[in-house]
Amino acid sequence: MKKQVLAILFMAISGIAMAQTAPEKKNNNPEFTVNGKLGFARLKSTGNAPLNGNINGSDVMVAFKLGQKWDVSTGLGYFEFNGNTTAAGNNASLKNSYLHIPLQFSGDFNLFKNEKPENDKLFFTIGLGLYANTLLKQELETALDRSSTKNMGWNFGLSSQIGLKFILSDAFNIGIGLESQSDFNKMKKDGAEQKIEQFNGMYFKLGLKF
């Protein structure tokens, strides 16, 4: 989580510096974003009751314009699922670490009409996308023991976003909103199957154009 905070701070400082030195429009340039996310999810696995837990993570992405309002973005992300469960009658904590590969289509719609569209600063945003996840590592810890399993398979899912985008300059913007994800299929390895049934949370986005 510390690395994610440092990355967001770095993007913010860079964006502010760029905002002070960039006089011209950059609407058609690719946009680089860092998306932090935090929320609650439910994990379903073979032979166990659904497990409620929390998710935190971030994505680093690059977006390309498809027109005046729409763009497509992709990149790499990392997130963790943490929950409390039982193992052999003992209380245990479960930690899943995932690699996340998103592909998302997003649209920006101005909330207040301006005579000069280039002066619009506040947008309503929606997003819909697909993703691939791989479970890099699963860790189970009790008071007496700790075990871990690596490379537990791949699966795919659907994501959606809704929120607000604030344009601070031609080079820098921030966003905040709600995000939802749900896996299509289960990851499978050695007879064990699992998937995240539903993730609901908040996202915080920093965007930078060079």
**Bigger pLDDT: 199 or 197?**
199
Contacts of 80 (CB under 8 A, 6+ apart): 55, 56, 57, 95, 96, 97, 98
Average confidence (pLDDT) over 43-59 = 92
Structure tokens at 53: 């837990």
Residue 121 pLDDT: 87
Name the least confident of 8-12, 37-41, 58-62, 147-151: 8-12
Q: Can you tell me the distance from the alpha carbon of 130 to that of 35, in angstroms, rounded to the nearest whole number?
A: 16
Name the least confident of 32-36, 38-42, 111-115: 111-115
**CATH number of the domain within which 113 lies:** 2.40.160.20
pLDDT at 29 over 90: no
DSSP letter string, 163-209: EEEEE-SSSEEEEEEEEEEEESS-EEETTEEEEEEEEEEEEEEEEEE
Average confidence (pLDDT) over 153-157 = 95
Give pTM, 2 decimals: 0.81
Q: Which residue segment(s) compose the domain that 58 sits in? A: 2-209
62 close to 31: Cβ distance less than 8 angstroms:
yes
pLDDT at 118 over 90: no
Name the least confident of 9-23, 124-138, 182-196: 9-23
| C-alpha distance from residue 151 to each of 17, 97, 99, 210 (Å) | 40, 10, 10, 36
Q: How many domains is the chain partitioned into structurally? A: 1
